[in-house]
Amino acid sequence: MEQEKMQWKDTERKGLYLLKKGQKGLIHAVFSRFGLILLLFLLQVGLLFSVFNLFAEFLPHILGGSILFTLIIMLCLLNGEIDPTAKITWLIVILFLPVFGALFYAYTQSDLGHRVLKRRLSDLIQQTKMEIPQSQEVVEAFQSEDPGAASLARYIHRSGCFPVYGNTQVTYFPLGEDKFQEMLVQLEQAKHFIFMEYFIVDEGLMWGEVLEILAKKASEGVDVRVMYDGTCEFSNLPHDYPKRLEKLGIKCKVFSPLTPFVSTHYNYRDHRKILVIDGHTAFNGGVNLADEYINRINRFGHWKDTAVMLKGDAVRSFTLMFLQMWSIDQKELEFDKFINYPTLSPQGAQGYVLPYGDCPLDSDKVGERVYMDILNRAQKYVHIMSPYLILDGEMETALKFAAERGVEVSLILPGIPDKRAPYALAKTHYASLLESGIKIYEYTPGFVHAKVFVSDDREAVVGTINLDYRSLYHHFECATYMYGSSCIPKIEEDFRATEAKCRLVTWETIKKEKLSIKLTGWLMKVVAPLL
C-alpha cells in the first residue's frame, strides 16, 4: 500500500512537471503555430501586392474585372441570408476596400476549411437525434402548466435532440468559487467516466487541482476525456498539451485548431462549458478552467460568474452534446454506451429542465430566439447579466418592446471591462435602451462574466451565451433552460444582490462618458458584427 502511494506521488510530480514545461508569452507566440500562421498570412498579403506590380500594364483590365467582381459580390451580399446589420457592415468594408473587401467577404462566406466540419456535424446530429426520446408525459404536463413555455420547448427540440425533462434537480452557484468547490467534490466521486469540454483551460491553481483528480481517476480506470478550444494554443497552452495529458491517462482533443489559410476568422469556436460525471451529474455556466474565474488572480477587479449543477434525467442532453463534438473525427460512435447510463432520481425535484446547444453551422439562432421568447412572454420582469452587449436590430427591438409594454427589464454589465472595444460598443446602445425604460447597471467591483436571464420568478437560463454577435451567431454554445425549478428564486436573489453593488446608468452618466470611449464605440459600431 505504501509503495502504491509513492508511485502515485511520483506520477503526480511527473504530471506537474509536464504542465510547468508549457511556456507562454512572447517567445512561445513567436515560435509556435501562432507565429507560423502570422508569417504565412503576411506572405499572402505580400504576394498579392507583388502580383499587382508584376501585371501593372494590365491594370485597366484588372480594375474593370475587379469592379465587376465587386458588384457581383455586393448583389450576392444583398440577397444573402445574413443578419441585416452584418450586411451594412460588409457593404461599408467593400465600399472602402472594393477589391480586398469583396475577396475577404467571398473568402469568409465560402466556409473554406469548415465544410467538412459542417457536413460531419450535420451527419452526427442526424444520426443521433433519436438517441434521447422526448417523454410525451413530460410534454403534456408542461403544456398544461404553461402553453407559452411549452411552445418554446417544442422549438428547441425541433432545432436538435434537446428534450425537456422533469426529474432533475438544479443547484445554482452565484460565484465561480462556489462551482469550483462543488466540482472537486463531484469529480472525486466519479466511478465510470468524466467528460470535460471548455473554451479556456489555463495552468494555475484551479486547473492544477482539477487535473490532479483527473489523473488519479484515470489511474483507477475511469474514462477521462478533456476537450478545449483551439484558441487555447495561442494564449494558454502549448501545442503538444494533449500528448502531455495522455501520459497521465487522460484522453484529450483540441477542437478546431487554428490552421493557415483555412481559418478564415476566429468564428466557429467551441465556447461551451460542459462537465459530465457518470451520466448523472453535469455542470454548465460561464466558468472556464482558469484562476481569474475563481478570483484566485485579479485581472479586472472582482470576477462575477455563475454556473448550475444538474442531477437527474436532463444530464443526458449534456452527455449527448459532448459526444457529438468529441466524435467529429471518429468513425465509430459510442453514444448508446454513455447516454443510457442510469441517472439519479433526485428527491423533491421541481419544474422542468431543458439543456440545449446552439450551432453556428445551421440557420437556427437558438440562443438569441430563446432570449427573445422569454422577453416576449414576460409579464413582470426580465433580469439579465451579460459581459457584453453588442446587439443586432432584432435583439435590441425585443428588449425595448418588452420594456415599452410595462415589463421591468434590467441589465447588469461589467463596471471594469476586459476588452476596450466591446465595452465601448455596449455603451452605444445605452441611450436607445434607456429611452424605452430599460434599467442598466454596471458592476462596480469588477467584471461580470455571467450569462443569466431570469423572468417572473418562473423561468431562467444559465449558460455560455453572451449578448453579442460572437455568441449569438458565430460560436458553438450551450445553456440550461429552467421552468419552475427550486433554484430560480436563488437566481433572482443573486441578481438583486449583485444589483446592489452596481452603479445605475443615467442620462447624466452617459453625458459624462469619456470622449475616447464614445469615439471608440462609434467607430467600432461599423464593424460590430465582425468582432
Q: Provide the grid cell at 497.
A: 444582490
Q: Give the separation between CA 439 and CA 401, rounded to whole angstroms.
A: 14
Q: Provide the grid cell at 456.
A: 417572473
* Residues 505 and 441 sit within 8 Å (Cβ to Cβ): yes
Query: How confident is the model at residue 235, as a pLDDT?
Result: 74
What's the whole-model pTM score?
A: 0.85
Q: What does the pLDDT look like over 443-495, one tens digit per residue?
A: 999 999 999 999 999 999 999 999 998 899 889 999 999 999 999 999 999 99
Q: What is the DSSP code string of 411-470? A: EEEESS-S-HHHHHHHHTTHHHHHHTT-EEEEETTEEE---EEEETTTEEEEES--BSHI
Here the contacts of 234-241 (C-beta below 8 Å, separation 24 or greater) are: 234/29, 234/32, 234/34, 234/258, 235/24, 236/24, 236/200, 236/201, 236/202, 236/203, 236/290, 237/22, 237/201, 237/202, 237/203, 238/21, 238/22, 238/23, 238/28, 238/32, 239/32, 239/33, 241/22
* Backbone φ, ψ for residue 517 (5° rounding): -70, -40
Query: How confident is the model at residue 262, as a pLDDT?
Result: 47
Specify the DSSP element, H or E, that contains 142. Answer: helix 136-145
Sign of the dihedral defined by the CA atoms of residues 269, 188, 165, 127, in that order: positive
Q: Helix (H, G, I), strand (E, B), or coil: what is residue 190?
A: coil
Distance set, CA 229 to CA 78, 202, 226, 281 (Å): 33, 12, 10, 23
**Positions in the chain whose pLDDT score sits under 70:** 1-45, 47-48, 51-52, 55-63, 65-66, 81, 99-100, 107-115, 258-267, 530-531
Query: How confident is the model at residue 248, as a pLDDT?
Result: 96
Q: Going by C-beta distance under 8 Å and a sequence separation of 6 or more, which residues neighbour residue 282?
A: 274, 275, 276, 309, 310, 314, 315, 318, 319, 355
Count of all residues that appear for the chain in the document: 531
Question: Per residue in 407-438, is it b (16+ CB within 10 Å) or e — as a string?
Answer: bbbbbbbbbbbbeebbbbbbbbbbeebbebeb
* Backbone φ, ψ for residue 249 (5° rounding): 85, 10
Give the closest residue to 417 by CA, choosing from 458, 446, 378: 446
Q: Provide the grid cell at 526.
A: 461599423
